[in-house]
Amino acid sequence: MNRARRARIVATLGPASRAPGTVKALAQAGVDVFRLNFSHGSHEDHAAAL
């Protein structure tokens, strides 16, 4: 039986993890939602990464 997973996987994107290849690898690994860490970088930095 294939039951839906109840837990969700959240990944935080920061300077070390916002490269396109890293984001793609995280998504392929099963991440459900990404959040941005505004303790590192400006709003402009995060907007450029999106």
Domain ranges of the chain: 10-49
Q: Is the pLDDT of residue 34 over 90?
A: yes
Residue 36: helix, strand or coil by DSSP? Answer: strand
Q: In the chain, pLDDT over 90 holds for what percent of residues?
A: 40
Q: Is the pLDDT of residue 7 over 80?
A: yes
Label residue 23 by pLDDT band (50, 70, 90): very high
Nearest CA to 8 out of 41, 38, 32, 43 is that of 32
Q: What is the pLDDT of residue 1?
A: 55
Mean pLDDT of 8-37: 91
Cut 0.85: pTM above it: no
Which CA distances in Å does 42 have to 12, 26, 32? Answer: 15, 23, 24
What are the φ and ψ backbone dihedral angles of 33, each rounded to 5 degrees?
Answer: -150, 145
